Amino acid sequence: MEREPAGHSARHMAELTSLIQADGGTVVETLTLKVRTPNSSTLLGSGQISRLGEAAEKCNADVVVVNRELNPQQQRNIETVIDQRRIIDRTRLIIDIFARHASSREGKLEVEDALLRYMLPRLTGKGIVMSQTGGGVGTRGPGETKLEMDKRRIKERLGRNKQLIETMKKQRLVQHGRRNRTGIPLVSLVGYTSAGKSTLLNTFTGAGVRSSENLFTTLDPISRKLHLENGNYAIITDTVGFIDDLPIQLIKAFRTTLEDVAKSDLLLLVVDVSKPDYEDDIRVVRNVLGEIDADKIATIYVFNKADKIDNSISLKSLTNMYGRSILVSALQGTGIEELKNMILMELMLKKHGSDIRDNNELYGTV
């Protein structure tokens, strides 16, 4: 089910379909409903809920996905009307996909963090919540209701997760060669999910990272050495992709990962230029970068999947619009050497200011 406004309806519906597929589902029916004045307790009007129920009944859907965040009351009320079917909202769907793809202990903890934050305002006190999150048996404090106890235990668990995530982050930094002390430059791949960040990392370094057409394939950050000319090198990190309305719970949960992006010397903002709405993707990515204080970092716009476009998009117009830009095909390897040269130039500029002619060495040789 689509949300308002109707302007970007096709983009949102196509993306919702991809999200459902990434969560292992199949879309059997779509319905676009205009919500002019959202009803605070049901979001939709009663006639709209009936239409939704009938459509779900007709195609025998197991789950109804609503493409916006529902508050707990709206969710319960819609569920009551549309009997026998699970209703999930966009936020829960994205958290579920993250849960499927998290593989490291850190990633799993981050997803649990997001799920707990999502559940906190949705607790009913019926006692099902803690069993879903794997909590142990606790005792109720004096005068504490079941609901208060569940809330307290979730908050305690969030606090414990935060400490564990911090500890793991420190270990990760140590493992990655005490980068700050050695002054090796850090380059981060950022971009909309499925833009081709992991494919680019593989082409650059032969990293063998999993890439797929599914959204949010990569969650755990992966760092590799990127060899540049004259024996120079940088550390390049592939990280979680962004999306329109990335749930705030996930931004909070992935804060340690995103903090690493904010510490980069250079960002490669990877764009799938073969998407008709790639400009919207760039806007979304720039917004998230702003939220994590990474929007002032030097950026090269890497327009990827150039093998899929005709000649209507020129590098000149992209450069005019976005600044430092390059057209590449990470899959076919075109433009990659040129991109490496651009990276070296940018890093030298950052280290030596504009006077780079006498400093053709970046950080020593390997």
Instruction: Please give the residue ranges that form the binding site for ligand GTP (CB under 6 A).
Output: 191, 193-199, 211-213, 215-218, 241, 304-305, 307-308, 329-331
Looking up tokens 């140590």 gives 174
Contact call for residue 199 and Mg ion (CB under 5 A): no
Which residue's Cβ has the minimum distance to ligand GTP? 241
Q: How far is the CB of 159 from ligand GTP (least distance, A)?
A: 29
Q: Which is nearer to ligand GTP, 19 or 82 (CB)?
A: 19
Name, in order, each residue with C-beta under 8 angstroms of 342's C-beta and a sequence gap of 6 or more: 300, 324, 326
Contact 259, 110 (CB under 8 A): no
Near Mg ion by CB under 5 A, which window of 19-27, 193-201, 220-228, 273-281? Answer: 193-201
Structure tokens at 173: 């930094």
| Count of residues touching Mg ion (by CB under 5 A) | 3
The secondary structure element, H or E, covering residue 327 is strand 325-327
Beta strands at 86-89 and 186-191: parallel, antiparallel or unpaired: unpaired
330 binds, among ligand GTP, Mg ion, none (CB under 5 to 8 A by kind): ligand GTP
Contact 242, 190 (CB under 8 A): yes
Q: How far is the CB of 218 from Mg ion (least distance, A)?
A: 3
For 230-256, the three-class secondary structure string (H helix, E strand, C coil) is HHCEEEEEECCCECCCCCHHHHHHCHH
Which residue's Cβ has the minimum distance to Mg ion? 218
- Distance of alpha carbon 25 from alpha carbon 184, whole angstroms: 43
Sign of CA dihedral 167, 168, 169, 171: positive
Q: How far is the CB of 202 from ligand GTP (least distance, A)?
A: 8
Near Mg ion by CB under 5 A, which window of 36-44, 90-98, 181-189, 195-203? Answer: 195-203
**Chain residues 222-241 in contact with Mg ion, contact rule CB under 5 A:** none
299 binds, among Mg ion, ligand GTP, none (CB under 5 to 8 A by kind): none
Choose, by CB under 5 A, the member of 75, 218, 249, 257 that binds Mg ion: 218
Q: Which is nearer to ligand GTP, 64 or 240 (CB)?
A: 240
> Angle 167-168-169 (CA atoms, 0-180°, nearest 5)?
90
Length of the chain: 366
Q: Which is nearer to Mg ion, 2 or 23 (CB)?
A: 23
Name, in order, each residue with C-beta under 8 angstroms of 233's C-beta and a sequence gap of 6 or more: 184, 225, 226, 227, 363, 366
Structure tokens at 232: 């120079």
212 binds, among Mg ion, ligand GTP, none (CB under 5 to 8 A by kind): ligand GTP
Q: Which is nearer to ligand GTP, 253 or 330 (CB)?
A: 330
Q: How far is the CB of 196 from Mg ion (least distance, A)?
A: 8
81, amino acid identity: V
Residue of 265, 244, 239, 269 whose CA lies nearest to 254: 239
Q: Which is nearer to ligand GTP, 207 or 262 (CB)?
A: 207
Q: Which is nearer to ligand GTP, 93 or 348 (CB)?
A: 93
Q: How far is the CB of 194 from ligand GTP (least distance, A)?
A: 4
Q: What share of the chain is helix, strand, coil (3-state, %, to 5)?
A: 50, 15, 40
Q: How far is the CB of 272 from ligand GTP (least distance, A)?
A: 7
Contact call for residue 198 and Mg ion (CB under 5 A): yes
Q: Which is nearer to Mg ion, 218 or 264 (CB)?
A: 218
Near Mg ion by CB under 5 A, which window of 93-101, 108-116, 128-136, 209-217? Answer: 209-217
Beta strands at 186-191 and 63-66: parallel, antiparallel or unpaired: unpaired
Q: How far is the CB of 284 from ligand GTP (least distance, A)?
A: 13
Structure tokens at 341: 């040269």
Q: Which is nearer to Mg ion, 48 or 218 (CB)?
A: 218
Q: Which is nearer to Mg ion, 184 or 222 (CB)?
A: 222
Contact call for residue 217 and Mg ion (CB under 5 A): yes
Give the Å distances, CA to CA, from 103 to 100, 202, 219.
Answer: 8, 19, 8
Contact 293, 258 (CB under 8 A): no
Near Mg ion by CB under 5 A, which window of 78-86, 111-119, 217-225, 297-305? Answer: 217-225
Residue of 43, 63, 50 whose CA lies nearest to 3: 43
